[in-house]
Amino acid sequence: MAEKEKREKIPRQPMPEQDPKERGKNFNEVPYGYTPELAQREAKRCLQCKKPKCIEGCPVGVKIPEFIEMVAEGNFIAAAKKVKEDNSLPAICGRVCPQEVQCEVLCVLGKKEEPVAIGRLERFVADYERAQGVVELPEIPPPTGKRVAAVGSGPAGLTLAGDLVKLGHQVTIFEALHKPGGVLVYGIPEFRLPKAIVEAEVDYLKRMGVEIKYNYVIGKILTVDELFEMGYDAVFLGVGAGLPVFMNIPGENLCGIYSANEYLTRSNLMKAYLFPEYDTPIARGRNVAVIGGGNVAMDSARTALRLGADNVYIVYRRSKTELPARAEEVHHAEEEGIQFKFLTNPVRFIENEDGWVVGMECIQMELGEPDDSGRRRPVPIEGSNFTMDMDLVVIAVGTGANPVITSTVPNLELNKRGYIVADPETGKTSREGIYAGGDIVTGAATVILAMGAGRQSSTAIHECLISKG
Amino acid sequence: MFKILKKREMADSTVCHFNVEAPLIAKKARPGQFVVLRPNETGERIPLTMAGTDPERGTIDIIFQVVGKTTALLRTFREGDYILDVIGPLGRPTHLEKLGTVICVGGGTGIAVLYPITKALKEIGNHVISIIGARTKDLLILEEEMGNASNELFITTDDGSYGRHGFVTDAMKDLLEERKDVKLVVGIGPVPMMKFVCKTSEPYGVKTMVSLNAIMVDATGMCGACRATVGGKTQFCCVDGPEFDGHQVDFDELMKRQAAYLKEEKVSYELFLKEHGQ
Ligand SMILES: Cc1cc2nc3c(=O)[nH]c(=O)nc-3n(C[C@H](O)[C@H](O)[C@H](O)COP(=O)(O)OP(=O)(O)OC[C@H]3O[C@@H](n4cnc5c(N)ncnc54)[C@H](O)[C@@H]3O)c2cc1C
Ligand SMILES: Cc1cc2nc3c(=O)[nH]c(=O)nc-3n(C[C@H](O)[C@H](O)[C@H](O)COP(=O)(O)OP(=O)(O)OC[C@H]3O[C@@H](n4cnc5c(N)ncnc54)[C@H](O)[C@@H]3O)c2cc1C
Ligand code: SF4
Ligand code: SF4
Ligand code: FES
Q: What is the pLDDT of residues A27-72, one digit of tens each?
A: 999 999 999 999 999 999 999 999 999 999 998 899 999 999 999 9
Q: Could you tell me how many helices (H) and strands (E) chain B has, helices first?
A: 9, 16
- Interface residue A230 vs chain B (CB under 8 A): no
B166 backbone φψ class: left, alpha, beta (φ>0; ψ -120 to 50): left
How many CB atoms are closer than 10 A to CB A417? 9
Q: Mean pLDDT for chain B? A: 93
Rounded CA gap, A172 and A190, in Å?
27
Q: In chain B, whose CA is at the least distance from the CA of A262?
A: B223
- Interface residue A244 vs chain B (CB under 8 A): yes
**pLDDT at position A1:** 39
Asked if A276's CB is within 8 angstroms of B271's CB, the reply is yes
* Of B86, B106, B97, residue with least CA distance to B18: B86
CA dist A11 → A14, A30, A42, B36, B160 (Å): 9, 22, 8, 54, 84
E strand or H helix at B173, and its extent? helix B168-178
3-class secondary-structure state, position B205: coil
**Radius of gyration for chain A, computed over Cα atoms and rounded to the nearest angstrom:** 23
Rounded distance from Cα B120 to ligand 2 centre (Å): 24
Residue B96, min C-alpha distance to chain A (Å): 19
**pLDDT at position A8:** 54
DSSP alpha helix (H) spans, A34-190: 36-43, 53-56, 64-72, 76-84, 90-96, 103-106, 109-112, 118-132, 155-166, 183-186
Rounded CA gap, B129 and B154, in Å?
8
Angle, helix A155-166 to helix A195-208, in steps of 10 degrees: 30
Task: List CB contacts of A277: < 8 A, sequence separation 6 or more.
Answer: A271, B42
Rounded CA gap, A433 and A236, in Å?
8
Kindly state the percentage of chain B with pLDDT values over 90. 82
**pLDDT at position A7:** 59
Rounded CA gap, B86 and B45, in Å?
9
> End-to-end alpha-carbon separation of chain B, Å?
28
3-class secondary-structure state, position A138: coil
Rounded distance from Cα B241 to ligand 5 centre (Å): 11
**pLDDT at position A454:** 95
Q: Which residues of A touch B220 (CB under 8 A)?
A: 176, 217, 242, 402, 404
Residue B166 has pLDDT above 90, yes or no: no
Burial of A423 by CB count in 10 Å (0-12 exposed, 13-18 middle, 19+ buried)?
middle
Mind giving me the DSSP string for B38-83? E-STTPPPEEEEEEEEETTTTEEEEEEE--SHHHHHHHT--TT-EE
Residue A167, min C-alpha distance to chain B (Å): 30
Rounded CA gap, A78 and A76, in Å?
5
Query: Mind listing the pLDDT tens digit for each residue in A165-207?
Result: 999 999 999 999 999 999 999 999 999 999 999 999 899 899 9
Interface test with A, best of B27, B67, B191, B220 (most A CBs within 10 A): B220
Query: Mind listing the pLDDT tens digit for each residue in A18-28?
Result: 999 889 889 99
Q: What is the mean pLDDT of residues B121-140?
A: 92
Q: In chain A, whose CA is at the least distance from the CA of B264?
A: A281
Q: Of the ranges A3-12, A450-459, B118-127, B213-222, which one carries the lowest mean pLDDT score? A: A3-12
Asked if B25's CB is within 8 angstroms of A355's CB, the reply is no
What chain B holds in terms of domains, given with CATH numbers, is: 2-90 (2.40.30.10), 101-258 (3.40.50.80)
**pLDDT at position B186:** 95
Which residues partner with B42 through β-bridges? none
CA B2 distance to own-chain centroid = 21
Rounded distance from Cα B44 to ligand 2 centre (Å): 10
Residue A4 has pLDDT above 60, yes or no: no
- Cβ of A291 closer than 6 Å to ligand 1, yes or no, is no
Q: How many CB pairs under 8 A join A and B?
A: 111
Nearest-CA residue for ligand 2 atom 44 is: B215
b/e A118-140 (16+ beta carbons within 10 angstroms → b): bbbbbbbbbbbbbeeeebeeeee
Query: Mind listing the pLDDT tens digit for each residue in B73-102?
Result: 999 999 999 999 999 999 999 999 999 999
- Interface residue A222 vs chain B (CB under 8 A): yes
Residue B212 has pLDDT above 90, yes or no: yes
Rounded CA gap, B208 and B46, in Å?
26
Indicate the DSSP class of residue B33: -
- Cβ of A187 closer than 6 Å to ligand 1, yes or no, is yes
Nearest-CA residue for ligand 4 atom 1 is: A107
- Cβ of A405 closer than 6 Å to ligand 1, yes or no, is yes
Q: Could you tell me how many helices (H) and strands (E) chain A has, helices first?
A: 20, 16
**pLDDT at position A467:** 87
Rounded CA gap, A292 and B64, in Å?
40
Q: What is the mean pLDDT of residues A240-246?
A: 94
Rounded CA gap, A93 and A119, in Å?
7
* Of B115, B117, B113, residue with least CA distance to B143: B115
Q: What is the mean pLDDT of residues A135-144?
A: 86
Rounded distance from Cα B4 to ligand 5 centre (Å): 26
Q: In chain A, whose CA is at the least distance from the CA of B26?
A: A221
pTM score, two decimals?
0.94
